[in-house]
Amino acid sequence: MMRVLYMGTPDFAVPPLQALLQAGHEVLGVVTQPDRPKGRGMKLLAPPVKETAQALGIPVYQPETLRGYAVKPLLEELRPDVIVVAAYGKLLPPYVLKAAKYGCINVHASLLPKYRGAAPIQRAIMAGEQETGVTIMYMAKELDAGDVILADSTPIGAAETAGELTMRLSHLGASLLVRALSALEDGTATRAPQDASQSTYAHLITREDARIDWMRTAREVADCIRAMLPAPGAFASSGEAVYKFADAVVSEKTGEPGMVLGVENGRMLVACGSGSVAIGQIQAPGSRRMSVSDYARGHALPEKFDGIGVQHA
pLDDT of residue 41: 78
Please state, rounded to an integer, the average pLDDT across all residues of the chain: 95
Query: What share of the chain in percent tops pLDDT 70?
Result: 98
CB 100 within 8 A of CB 82: yes
* Confidence band for 307, pLDDT divided at 50, 70 and 90: low
DSSP 159: T
Average pLDDT of the residues in 22-33: 98
Query: Per-residue pLDDT for 313 more than 70?
Result: no
Q: Flag the least confident range among 6-20, 21-35, 36-50, 71-85.
A: 36-50
**Using alpha carbons only, what angle is made at residue 113 by residues 110 and 119, rounded to the nearest 5 degrees?**
45
Average pLDDT of the residues in 243-257: 97
Average pLDDT of the residues in 292-300: 95
pLDDT of residue 308: 62
CA distance 311 to 313: 6
- pLDDT: which is higher, 313 or 254: 254
Report phi then psi at 194, rounded to 5: -80, 150
Over residues 37-52, the pLDDT tens digits come to 887 778 899 999 999 9
Over residues 251-278, the pLDDT tens digits come to 999 999 999 999 999 999 999 999 999 9
CB 72 within 8 A of CB 95: yes
Q: Flag the least confident range among 40-54, 187-201, 204-218, 271-285.
A: 40-54
Query: What share of the chain in percent tops pLDDT 90?
Result: 95
CB 1 within 8 A of CB 80: no
pLDDT of residue 309: 45
Over residues 135-185, the pLDDT tens digits come to 999 999 999 999 999 999 999 999 999 999 999 999 999 999 999 999 999
Q: Which segments of 19-87 are extended strands (E)?
A: 26-31, 36-38, 43-45, 60-61, 82-86
Query: Per-residue pLDDT for 295 more than 60?
Result: yes
pLDDT of residue 129: 98
pLDDT of residue 40: 73
Helices 162-186 and 14-22, axial angle in degrees (round to 10): 30
CA distance to 27, 41, 74, 150, 289, per residue, from 59 (Å): 9, 28, 12, 29, 38
CA distance 122 to 243: 20
Q: Mind listing the domains of the chain with CATH numbers?
A: 3-202 (3.40.50.170), 207-298 (3.10.25.10)
